[in-house]
Chain A
Amino acid sequence: GENVEQHPSTLSVQEGDSAVIKCTYSDSASNYFPWYKQELGKGPQLIIDIRSNVGEKKDQRIAVTLNKTAKHFSLHITETQPEDSAVYFCACFQKLVFGTGTRLLVSP
């Protein structure tokens, strides 16, 4: 079945720095790649997604890049703020599989 690896498991940055989270997947049939943010005590919230016919998508401080040949995709957060602190999950949809999560801590 599909296997999704997510790195790093934890990431600590200073406010204003950039953060990058990477995921690799195994099923070449995967064609939809969302990213979710989960804050303590809440369900995951979709923050950005990308489909397989696009290589990059940007929404303000957040961007996602996709390399279908290498089967990996990344989340980029620029100008990080303390409120960006949360657990971030990547996911692949052909068969629905989530990554193991990255705990991002942004220090003021």
Chain B
Amino acid sequence: DAGVTQSPTHLIKTRGQQVTLRCSPKSGHDTVSWYQQALGQGPQFIFQYYEEEERQRGNFPDRFSGHQFPNYSSELNVNALLLGDSALYLCASSHGQGHYNEQFFGPGTRLTVL
């Protein structure tokens, strides 16, 4: 079992650009959540996808959007990048909707915005 995988590992973008990050959940999981982790901080919840729909959302602007595919994999899109978007983006998968089921995290994608 490969666990949760994310791509790419690292990414460098400039302000104003758009970025797409990808996540494949652990085998048997159908729910994907995305988090932003700034340096030295705890993860902050962006949103959660279940059955190809956004089910819950944290306090992030509409520049952050996502998608879940029929195979349960997911993408996180960020438009009009700002310097403050530089962070580690974590994907977590679980079985079933909500946060009460154990979430398995991927290694993250490190995004640097210049």
A interface residues with partner B (beta carbon < 8 Å): 1, 4, 6, 32, 34, 36, 41-46, 49, 89, 91, 93, 96-101
Q: Which of A32, A44, A91, A97 has the largest number of chain B CB atoms within 10 A?
A: A44
Using CB atoms, name the residue of chain A closest to B90.
Answer: A43
Using CB atoms, name the residue of chain A closest to B6.
Answer: A43
The minimal Cβ–Cβ distance linking B107 to chain A, given in whole angstroms, is 5
B interface residues with partner A (beta carbon < 8 Å): 4, 40-45, 56, 58-59, 90, 92, 99-100, 102-108
Using CB atoms, name the residue of chain A closest to B33.
Answer: A96
B106–A43 CB distance below 8 A:
yes
Using CB atoms, name the residue of chain A closest to B99.
Answer: A93
B45–A96 CB distance below 8 A:
yes
A101–B90 CB distance below 8 A:
no
The minimal Cβ–Cβ distance linking A103 to chain B, given in whole angstroms, is 9
The minimal Cβ–Cβ distance linking A51 to chain B, given in whole angstroms, is 8
A101–B99 CB distance below 8 A:
no
Partner of B105, one of A4, A43, A49: A43
Q: Which residues of B contact A49 (CB under 8 A)?
A: 102
The minimal Cβ–Cβ distance linking A77 to chain B, given in whole angstroms, is 19
A41–B43 CB distance below 8 A:
no
> What are 25 A-B pairs at a CB distance below 8 A?
A6-B42, A41-B107, A42-B107, A43-B4, A43-B92, A43-B106, A43-B107, A44-B43, A44-B105, A45-B105, A46-B103, A46-B104, A49-B102, A89-B43, A93-B99, A96-B58, A96-B99, A97-B45, A98-B44, A99-B42, A100-B40, A100-B41, A100-B42, A101-B41, A101-B42
A46–B102 CB distance below 8 A:
yes
